[in-house]
Amino acid sequence: MTTTLISIERPTRAPKKPLAFTIDGRAVTVEEGTTILAACRTIGIEIPTLCFLETLRPVNACRLCVVEVEGARVLAPSCSRTAEAGMVVYTKSARVIHARRLVLEFLASSVDLSTTPGMAELLAEYDCKPERYGPPKPHALAGERDAAIAGHHAAPDPDFAATVGQPVMVDNDLYVRDYAKCVLCYKCVEACGADHQNSFAIAVAGRGFNARISTEMAVPLPDSACVYCGNCIAVCPTGALMAKPEFDMRAAGSWNIEAQTTTDTICPYCGVGCTLSLHVQDNTIVKATSPLENSITLGNLCVKGRFGWQYVQPGPSADSATTRDG
């Protein structure tokens, strides 16, 4: 046994106490501080989420993950509500199913969810009929939603379902913002803000149905505090934020996930050693991401890692001096 002058190891935290409760009639034991959602996942109970991500602080925005807690007046968001000893939780009660259907129908009637992974299956599973609210209202004009004044609301149009639709914003070469697809989950705001990037280039502006993600004073991205790390794209659950190459390929009909390989390697730039997952289609890098569970990146990258690989792409490019012709 070695003796050291003082303790040199990482201070150990007191072990968390176990607590027992029931989910859908099944007894579960978890550590103190575990959320209901995490507890459900340990026993294989699926709970749908939109605004939740392991690497972000829960904001309880979407209410899709609600569960019923016996004795509680309202449904609880399972992503942030921690389990308590003796708690009795129902994840599939009639109230829960009804609430989730409501959330999904409202979202699907007002937001373009066509590029949200798994959404079609979820709408079917919860028997959602968003079309009963009427046909979607045509998109607002460019800048119209950004000009909305808090507290001023137009009267509802009975012929249409209200939507958040507006034209796609393409104001730079690296990524586009299609806020017709935005469910206001806040993930991009959190990733850009205190949770990861601390750039604070975007926030939620406006109130109620006029609420939208905005740069400061709704300026174009190149005039904002954005540093193009794309960490907002990485957490966006609906494809509202999308890297330009993917956006362009989808528009051209050439985006083909089945034909893509994903290979993890290490970023070629500084010495931090971020894992880059390179998504390659036809020997061309079409997207770079980083695994959420990677201890170095937590899914984050900087502008060079996320976008700076044009120089290894095959074929001609705008700058032939720095691109290798295959």
Partner 1 sequence: MFGAGGGTNSYAEVEETDVVFLWGSNARAAHPIWFHHLLKGVRNGTRLYVMDPRRTDSAKWADVWMGLNVGSDVALSNTMAREIIHAGLAHAAFIANGTTGFDVYRAAVEPYTLDVGEQLTGIPAAAIREAAHTFATADKAMICWTLGITEHHNAVDNVLSLINLCLLTGHVGRWACGCNPLRGQNNVQGGGDMGAIPNRLPGFQDILDPAVRAAFERHWGVPIQPTYGKNLTEMLHAMEHGKITALLCAGENPVQSDADGNKVARLLGGLDHLVVQEIFLTKTAQLAHVVLPATASWCEADGTVTNSERRVQRVRKAKEPPAGARDELWILAELARRLGTDLGNPTAEELWNEFRTVAPAFAGGMSYARLESLGGIQWPCPDESHAGETFLHGRLWETPVRGRPAPFSVVEHAGPAEQPDAAYPFLLTTGRRLESYNTGVQTGGYASPLHYGETVDMSPEDAVMLGCADGDLARVSSRRGEVTAPVRIDRALRAGLVFMTFHFPDSVDTNVLTNDQYDPKSGTAEFKACAVRIEALVASVGAR
Residues forming contacts to partner 1 in the complex (CB under 8 A) are: 2-6, 8-11, 172-174, 194, 196-198, 221-222, 227-229, 261, 263-275, 278, 280, 283-285, 294-298, 300-305, 307-312, 314, 317-319, 321-326
Q: To the nearest whole angstrom, how small is the minimum distance from the Cβ of residue 258 to partner 1?
A: 17
**Are 212 and 145 in contact, with CB atoms under 8 Å apart?**
yes
Stated as kind and residue range, the H or E segment containing 120 is helix 119-125
Q: Select from 105, 19, 31, 22 the least CA-distant residue to 63.
A: 105
**Are 157 and 177 in contact, with CB atoms under 8 Å apart?**
no
Give the integer Cα–Cα distance in Å for 207 and 151. 7
* C-beta of 180 vs 302, nearer to partner 1: 302
Which residue bears the tokens 């971020």? 274
Give the integer Cα–Cα distance in Å for 281 and 41. 33
Q: To the nearest whole angstrom, how small is the minimum distance from the Cβ of residue 275 to partner 1?
A: 7
* C-beta of 82 vs 284, nearer to partner 1: 284
One-letter amino acid at 242 equals M
Q: Is 132 exposed, middle or buried (0-12, 13-18, 19+ CB in 10 A)?
A: exposed
* C-beta of 11 vs 158, nearer to partner 1: 11
Spell 150-176 as b/e; 16+ CB within 10 A means b.
eeeeeeeeeeebbbbbbebbeeeebbb
Q: To the nearest whole angstrom, how small is the minimum distance from the Cβ of residue 147 to partner 1?
A: 24
* C-beta of 42 vs 283, nearer to partner 1: 283
CA-based R_g, the chain, Å: 23
* C-beta of 114 vs 262, nearer to partner 1: 262
* C-beta of 145 vs 196, nearer to partner 1: 196
Q: To the nearest whole angstrom, how small is the minimum distance from the Cβ of residue 204 to partner 1?
A: 21
* C-beta of 53 vs 122, nearer to partner 1: 53
**Are 92 and 217 in contact, with CB atoms under 8 Å apart?**
no
The angle at the Cα of 219, spanning 217 to 223, to the nearest 5 degrees, equals: 125
Structure tokens at 78: 């399972």
